[in-house]
A and B are shown apart, each in its own frame.
Chain A
Amino acid sequence: MGSNIEYWKKGIRDGIPIALGYVAVSFTFGIAARNAGLTVFQAVLMSAVNVTSAGQFAGLGLIAASAGYLEMVLTQFIINLRYSLMSCSLSQKISDNTPFFHRFFIASGVTDEIFGVSVSTEGKLNPFYSYGLISISVPGWVFGTLLGVLSGNILPERVLSALSVALYGMFIAIIIPPAKGNKVISGIILLSMLLSLAFAKLPLLNQISSGFRIIILTIAIAGAAAVLFPIKEDTNGR
C-alpha cells in the first residue's frame, strides 16, 4: 500500500502543470458561463462533472440557444469522441492484475492532458498515479471556473496569457523526449503538426471542428504509421 501512496504523490506532482493550465482555461470558461446566464453553482457543477473544455464551451452555446437534448447528446458525442481513442490506448496500459473497478474511476479522468501524462509513464499505469493526477487537476479546473464566474478580473490579463501555454508546454514535454533519436516518432510529430496547421488554415478543411480534426488526423497518421512502421514486439508497456 505504501507504494500506492508514492504513486499518488507522484501523480499530484506531475499534475501541477495540468492544474495551472486548467485554472487559466476554466477561468475563461467561467466568464463564458456567466455570459450564457448560468448561476455560479451551475457553472461549477458543469465543470466538476464534465472536465472537458471544448465540450463545455459547446454545451454553453447549446444551452443559451435552448437546443434539444438530442442535439446536446450528438454535439457532446462528436466533440468528445477523441476520448474513446485515448481510452482504447489507456486500456492497454493497465495491468491485468489491476482490480476491474479502477477502470471506472480512471475513466472519469480521461482528458487530453491527464491522458497525455498517463501514457508517458514508464511501464504499466498504476491507478493511484491517475488518482494523483485527477486529485490536483480536477480541483484546478473547478476552482478556475469558480474564479471566472465570480469575477472576470481577479487574475491579471498577463498572468492568464502566460498560464495559457502551460498545457501546450506539457504536451511538448511529453512527445519530444521519445522523439529524440527516433525518426519515426519525429516524423509523425512533424507531419501531425503540419497537417493540423493545414486543417486550421485551408478553406473547407478549416470548417471541420477541432475535435473531429483530432480524430481524422489520429486515425490517418497513426494508422499509416502502424502499417508502415509496426512496433517491435519487445516494446513494452502497451
Chain B
Amino acid sequence: MGDNVYVYIFVMALVTYLIRMLPLTLIQKEIKNKTIRSFLYYVPYVTLAVMTFPAILSATASIWSALGGFVIAIVLAYNGGSLFKVSLSACFVVFIIELFIS
C-alpha cells in the first residue's frame, strides 16, 4: 500500500457516483408505462423492508434489545409517529433493555 490508496478511493467514488447519477439524468421524462410506474412505486417498500429485516436483529449487542427496538418502531410507526420519534424511541428502548440484560 502506498499512494495508490488515493487511486482506489477515486475509483470507488467514480463508480458509485455514476451508478447514482446516470439513471437520474438519463430518465428525464415521466414514464407513462403503467407497469414500470407501478414497479417503481413498489421499489422503496421492498428495498427498505429487505434492508431492515433480518439485519436489525444483529445490529445491536443483543438480539433481545434489537427485537425490542424493532417492535416499538413498528408500533409507533403504525400509530403515525414521526421519523425522528420512531427512530430515537427504537434507540432508547435498545439502550434501556441492554441496561437490564447485560
Contacts and interface: CB of A to CB of B under 8 A. Distances in A.
Contacts of A92: 27, 30-31, 37, 40
A219 B34 CA distance: 16
Contact of B70 (A62, A108, A168, A175): A168
Interface in B28-80: 28, 30-31, 34-56, 59-61, 65-66, 69-70, 73-74, 76-78, 80
A227 B77 CA distance: 28
Contacts of A163: 91
A208 to B, nearest CB: 12
A218 B43 contact: yes
Interface stretch (A1-9, A82-90, A143-151): A82-90
A131 interface: no
A83 B15 CA distance: 11
Contacts of A88: 23, 27, 40, 43
How would you classify the secondary structure of chain A's contact residues: helix, strand, loop or mixed?
helix
Contact of A168 (B35, B38, B73, B98): B73
Given A66-B1, A104-B25, A222-B46, A89 B9 contact: no
B46 A173 contact: no
A229 B43 CA distance: 13
Interface residues of A, number: 104
A38 B49 contact: no
Name, among B1, B35, B49, the residue most crowded by chain A CB atoms within 10 Å (CB to CB). Answer: B49
A173 B98 contact: no
Contact of B50 (A38, A100, A213, A230): A213
Contact of B7 (A69, A87, A177, A226): A69
Interface string A45-59: 110011010011001
A14 B45 contact: no
Contacts of B35: 226-227, 230
A72 interface: yes
